[in-house]
Chains A and B, each alone.
Chain A
Amino acid sequence: MSKIEVKVPAIGESVTEVTLASWLVKDGDYVKIDQALAEFESDKATFELPAEFAGKISLSASEGDDIKIGSVVAYIDTDVVAPTEATKEEPKKESLQPIATAPKEEVKPVATQTATTASYANGTPSPSAKKILDEKGIETKEVSGTGVSGRITKEDALKATPTSSSTTATSISKGNFSRGERVEKMTRLRKTISKRLVAVKNETAMLTTFNEVDMTRINEIRSQYKKAFEEKKGIGLGFMSFFTKACTLALQQFPAINAYVDDENIIYHDFIDISIAVSTPKGLVVPVIRNTESLSFAEIEKEVKRLALLGRDGALTMEDMEGGTFTITNGGVFGSLMSTPIINQPQSAILGMHKIQDRPMAINGKVEIRPMMYLAMSYDHRIVDGKESVGFLVAVKDYLENPEKILVGVDPVKALLEI
């Protein structure tokens, strides 16, 4: 009998503990090599644990447990043979050869267990379980049944907790409202977010400066070159490339904003890595676009898309999120008109983009309707002075309103005239 320990692998330098988010296999299941066994959450990312051996698994950790790196979460019994498929055919074989079937018997119990997971009855609630789930406003498909063939037992229903989408649906229904509360364990990601946000407020001298940008020119460029850009580069021309590039140039002019405070030292960076805040189903994550100073518009757009897709699928790795010297966050996608973003430590500043809104502006003594966006930049006053921060934001505004300047960092006409 050889039982192999399944341990939580090391996933990054700073990670010492993870949370077991969910088991993807059931106790007693037969698992194949590389089959995903469980989903873990670390401070920054979720990752799956693949099986290194095939065999029958017995689970020793429970969902929601906090587990140290290197700890055992399950055992795989490699002596158990892979189950054979399709038990349905067997009776016929029996009737044909009634004598020769005996040696096969031992394999059978495993076979029935695995076959049941795909049963038509999977997720069928017992009468009492159905009533409990209906009252909790939980759909049967949200509950994994522990009964025979995946049936939902009364106990399963009692233990089930509603997801946020299903609770709103029931609380509206008239006459059957609930004043109940529910306790849900914070995910590790949420714990980290809360810890870090409070830490920033306590440990830095954060304040926010505002400006606004006239998006007319960017809109013109986008509508004029959108098709050509997409055909040539294979990616849409969005706003992020303009903002990333504008910030990159401005950061080069104001190096303190691209620096970290490290105790009594200031660490300046020769490179610019811009973190992009991405909202995912599990929370906010900030993957990094590296060396933006050397990237083209198309390269930035492609990188933004790649990271956003990974974020949506929960597939961002630790590497994708480490580092970053400055952050851009876009509350505008949710409709925010104005906000004060919180610095992504140990960085020194963060730029907040907002909703583009048509507003009457005074242009050359006349009122014109322009597509306007408020910009907000929160910064750490310990190393960034007001002059620098305001200067930086004005520079960003200038690049965004005159994107041609992004080409050489100054007005192309001035560059041509060398003045």
Chain B
Amino acid sequence: MEKYDVTIIGSGPGGYVAAIRCAQLGMKTAVIEKYNSLGGTCLNVGCIPSKALLDSSEHYHNAIHNFKEHGIEISEANINFTQMIERKTKVIDQTVAGIDFLMKKNKITVYQGHGSFISPIMLSIKKTDGTEEQIESTKIIIATGSKPAMLPSIAIDKKRIITSTEALSLPELPKTMVIIGGGVIGLELGSVYQRLGTEVSVIEYMDKIIPTMDDDMGKELQRSLKKLGIKFYLSHKVTGAINNGDNVTVSALDKKEQEIKLDAEYCLVAIGRKAYTENLGLDKIGIKTTERGQIEVNDHLQTSAENIYAVGDVVRGAMLAHKASEEGVLVAEYIAGQKPHINYNLIPGVVYTWPEVASVGYTETQLKEKGIAYKVGSFPMRALGRARASMDIDGLVKVLADKETDEILGVHMIGARAADLIAEAVVAMEFRASAEDIGRISHAHPTYTEALKEAALAATDNRALHV
């Protein structure tokens, strides 16, 4: 029987990054992956494919709506949906091949099969051909990720009533689609299809979209997406969805408990994700899961079994690929006797709609709840020369700073390339910079990053230069 220093169950951004870091630190490392493709949800049915389709659909949208204004006249723009999906698949294949290469380069053994615990140091790997292999490992990291969450009232049939996984590989371009859930996944995929001509309706239980982010971001994004053509049904409670064969009827109750019915070719259920810990044999090693299926861990991501750790979507915290990767590194280094640390408050959140939304730190609501006195500085993208040059004038940057010390407590932005712009705010906040610090640092002109500098100046002393 093969013996390893560390074995990781799951090869997503938490698992494969943990494996690389373990190998870098000199541990004999193995990874067990249930699917025949490494990379987990992120690479195969999440971050990467959705971005591929978002970019493709954005190009199409620009071609038919914005090229003319730029002085480019094309007679006709047609969608080859099959090609679009194929290109997406190619992007996935290239990225997965990259992970394969990294595993080889770092001499990490990859087992394909379903991994589960036999004992705290013994793992069984059930392969697709029905055979079983057992390995022994001193330390084990659970990185099995998450699955789309379900509503009890709706049966997912993966034909008409689908999850994000199916929505990334539809056989045809739908004419209509109802999306249940106004969160990140629903709005990103909703954007893809609305841009391609699908009539998209979003039903959200809360009274706002992207409810975990700063309120202003939700309002601003809703305005942009309405302009795009998406219909919103906020404060609506979905009561059921019926597959009629060629279409779906979704029923919901509005605020006044009045029932509405929406017919669409597809119904995408995007109400969030649920930790995936089933059939892992956790009961055999005494590890308990919470009601939401998550594994309880301490600050070092150690489970109740001392040699077993868990990272990513299976543990508390935001379900984000980069959060999982940081945790993977943390566990690897902790096992090696180092003392790494993650500042969970400074893990950025991003929505890849257009305009993009990104944020880090506290929202205004959180600061109010905590009773922290703060200042707000915000700056509209439309005041930037760069934004006007590219006609991406929607959005704003908002900087929240401590009223007394001027320390930046939160940065929220919506606008072109916000997903990339947020990195500056994260760096600044990791070093506990003040709003004035950002205001005094040179920002290249003309760039979108100038909006952050201007918002910081506004927060410092209400002295933005270009408004």
Q: CA of A323 to CA of B337 in the docked complex: distance in angstroms?
A: 53
User: Can you name the residue of chain B whose Cβ is closest to the Cβ of A137?
Assistant: B339
* A130–B341 touching, CB < 8 Å: yes
* B337–A121 touching, CB < 8 Å: no
Chain A residue contacts of B288, Cβ below 8 A:
none
* A131–B340 touching, CB < 8 Å: yes
Contact check: which of B338, B339, B402, B431 meets A124 at CB < 8 Å?
B431
Q: CA of A176 to CA of B300 in the docked complex: distance in angstroms?
A: 13
* A91–B338 touching, CB < 8 Å: no
* B337–A175 touching, CB < 8 Å: yes
Chain B 111-146, CB-CB to A under 8 Å as 1, else 0, gives 000000000000000000000000000000000000
* B407–A134 touching, CB < 8 Å: no
* B341–A131 touching, CB < 8 Å: yes
* A127–B461 touching, CB < 8 Å: no
Chain B residue contacts of A121, Cβ below 8 A:
407, 431-434
* B339–A135 touching, CB < 8 Å: yes
Q: CA of A147 to CA of B433 in the docked complex: distance in angstroms?
A: 12
Minimal beta-carbon separation of B240 from chain A (angstroms): 48
Chain B residue contacts of A120, Cβ below 8 A:
402, 405, 407, 432
Q: CA of A327 to CA of B434 in the docked complex: distance in angstroms?
A: 58
Please tell me if B388 contacts chain A, counting CB pairs below 8 Å.
no
Minimal beta-carbon separation of B18 from chain A (angstroms): 17
A contacts with B, residue count (CB < 8 A): 18
User: Can you name the residue of chain B whose Cβ is closest to the Cβ of A153?
Assistant: B431
Chain A residue contacts of B407, Cβ below 8 A:
120-121
Chain A 87-111, CB-CB to B under 8 Å as 1, else 0, gives 0000110010000000000000000
* A131–B461 touching, CB < 8 Å: no
* B338–A135 touching, CB < 8 Å: yes
* A176–B463 touching, CB < 8 Å: no
Please report which residues of chain B, range 306-343, place their CB below 8 angstroms from some CB of chain A when the two chains form the complex: 337-341, 343
Please tell me if B424 contacts chain A, counting CB pairs below 8 Å.
no
Greatest chain A CB density within 10 A among B337, B402, B407, B431 is at B431
* B431–A176 touching, CB < 8 Å: no
Please report which residues of chain B, range 398-454, place their CB below 8 angstroms from some CB of chain A when the two chains form the complex: 402, 405, 407, 430-434, 437
Please report which residues of chain A, range 171-217, place their CB below 8 angstroms from some CB of chain B when the two chains form the complex: 175-176
User: Can you name the residue of chain A whose Cβ is closest to the Cβ of B337?
Assistant: A176
Please tell me if A151 contacts chain B, counting CB pairs below 8 Å.
yes
Q: Given the known inter-chain contacts A91-B461, A120-B407, A121-B407, please indicate yes or no for A127 contacting B339, CB distance below 8 A.
A: no
Q: CA of A127 to CA of B340 in the docked complex: distance in angstroms?
A: 9
Q: Given the known inter-chain contacts A91-B461, A91-B463, A121-B407, please indicate yes or no for A126 contacting B339, CB distance below 8 A.
A: no
* A127–B432 touching, CB < 8 Å: no
Minimal beta-carbon separation of B183 from chain A (angstroms): 29
Minimal beta-carbon separation of B439 from chain A (angstroms): 11
Q: Given the known inter-chain contacts A91-B461, A120-B405, please indicate yes or no for A134 contacting B339, CB distance below 8 A.
A: yes
Q: CA of A89 to CA of B89 in the docked complex: distance in angstroms?
A: 58
Chain A residue contacts of B337, Cβ below 8 A:
175-176
User: Can you name the residue of chain A whose Cβ is closest to the Cβ of B335?
Assistant: A175
Chain B residue contacts of A119, Cβ below 8 A:
405
Chain A 117-139, CB-CB to B under 8 Å as 1, else 0, gives 00111001011001100110000
Q: CA of A119 to CA of B430 in the docked complex: distance in angstroms?
A: 16
Q: CA of A151 to CA of B431 in the docked complex: distance in angstroms?
A: 8
Q: CA of A33 to CA of B60 in the docked complex: distance in angstroms?
A: 72
Minimal beta-carbon separation of A13 from chain B (angstroms): 51
* A134–B405 touching, CB < 8 Å: no
Q: Given the known inter-chain contacts A91-B461, A120-B407, please indicate yes or no for A131 contacting B338, CB distance below 8 A.
A: yes
Chain A residue contacts of B340, Cβ below 8 A:
131
Please report which residues of chain B, range 258-292, place their CB below 8 angstroms from some CB of chain A when the two chains form the complex: none
Chain A residue contacts of B437, Cβ below 8 A:
148
Q: CA of A147 to CA of B402 in the docked complex: distance in angstroms?
A: 21
Please report which residues of chain A, range 316-335, place their CB below 8 angstroms from some CB of chain B when the two chains form the complex: none
Minimal beta-carbon separation of B175 from chain A (angstroms): 49
* B341–A127 touching, CB < 8 Å: yes
Q: CA of A11 to CA of B460 in the docked complex: distance in angstroms?
A: 51
Greatest chain A CB density within 10 A among B338, B339, B343, B460 is at B339
* B430–A126 touching, CB < 8 Å: yes
Name A's B-contacting residues (CB within 8 A).
91-92, 95, 119-121, 124, 126-127, 130-131, 134-135, 147-148, 151, 175-176
Further pairs besides A120-B405, A148-B437, A151-B431: 7, Cβ < 8 Å: A120-B407, A120-B432, A127-B341, A135-B338, A151-B432, A175-B337, A176-B337
Q: List, sorted by A's number, 6 A–B pairs whose CB atoms are closer than 8 Å.
A: A121-B433, A121-B434, A131-B340, A134-B339, A147-B431, A176-B339
Q: Which 7 A-B pairs have the closest CB atoms?
A: A134-B339, A120-B405, A91-B461, A135-B339, A121-B432, A124-B432, A176-B337
